Structures are given as structure tokens and as C-alpha cells.
Amino acid sequence: MKTPVQVDFQGLKPTERMREAIDEHLAELEERFGRITACRVVVRAPSGRHRNGGAYGIHVRLVLPNGREVNVDRTATVDERHADFSFALNDAFKRARRRLQDEVRVMRGQIKSHEDSRAEG
């Protein structure tokens, strides 16, 4: 990456394991597509308003060449599994990986154009 990764923890004190998990996910994204120019990850602590403690909010923003961006903002309110940091982080980066793959395909011109499927003549 051209710029250092920005990781922001809001409402919680990060552990070393949290930081390592984020670094591992970022390394995997860079391995797949080494042209990521900047990255920002925001981890929001679960709110205490919910009976089970709420869900982690994880936002991933990747900046690509030519002004393209991949943004994933996932705060699941109905899925109790997001109360687990590892699950929420894995889910957010899985979404980021899919969107990054889509953007890379567009950048490389590999997206199929859907032509009119009606038979001619």
C-alpha cells in the first residue's frame, strides 16, 4: 500500500489479537490485489442497549487506482453472531474481498456484457 493502513477502534480498547486479525485479513487482500493504495478499518464496539450486548460494527474502505473505492459498512442488527468480534471481522472482510474482486474485474475489462437474449430473426 502506498499509505499506511488506518485502523480506528471506537468505544473499545483494542487487544493485540484484534490488531493481528485485521493485519492478517489485510495481508490476504493485498496478496490477491497488490494495487490497493490506501485502507481504513473502523471497528465500533457493540452498544450496550441490546439484551445480548449488541453487534460489532466494522467498516472497511479500500482505495484503488483511478479513484475507485470499495466500501463495506456492516453492522448487523438481527444477526446475533456479529456480537463475536472474530465472526464480525471475518464477515466484513469476506464482503470486502467479494467487492474487491468485482472492482478488479471491472478494471481489467473482464465483466461480461449482457446482450439482448432474444433470438433474432
- Please state the domain count of the chain: 1
Structural domain contains residue 31: yes
Q: What is the mean pLDDT of residues 17-35?
A: 91
Instruction: Please report which helix (H) or strand (E) contains residue 27, including its range.
Output: helix 16-32
Structural domain contains residue 38: yes
pLDDT tier for residue 66 given thresholds of 50, 70 and 90:
confident
Structural domain contains residue 115: no
CB neighbours of 85 closer than 8 A, spacing ≥ 6? Answer: 18, 21, 43, 56
According to DSSP, residue 35 is labeled T
pLDDT tier for residue 117 given thresholds of 50, 70 and 90:
very low
- The whole domain housing 92 covers 6-76+83-108
Structural domain contains residue 119: no
Q: Which pLDDT belongs to residue 39?
A: 92
Structural domain contains residue 15: yes
CATH code of the domain containing 65: 3.30.160.100
**Entry pTM:** 0.78
Structural domain contains residue 97: yes
Nearest to 99 by CA among 11, 36, 10: 36
Cα–Cα distance measured from residue 84 to residue 46, given in angstroms and rounded to the nearest whole number: 10
pLDDT tier for residue 116 given thresholds of 50, 70 and 90:
very low
Structural domain contains residue 118: no
Is the pLDDT score of 31 beyond 70? yes
The burial class, CB within 10 Å (0-12 / 13-18 / 19+), for 56 is buried
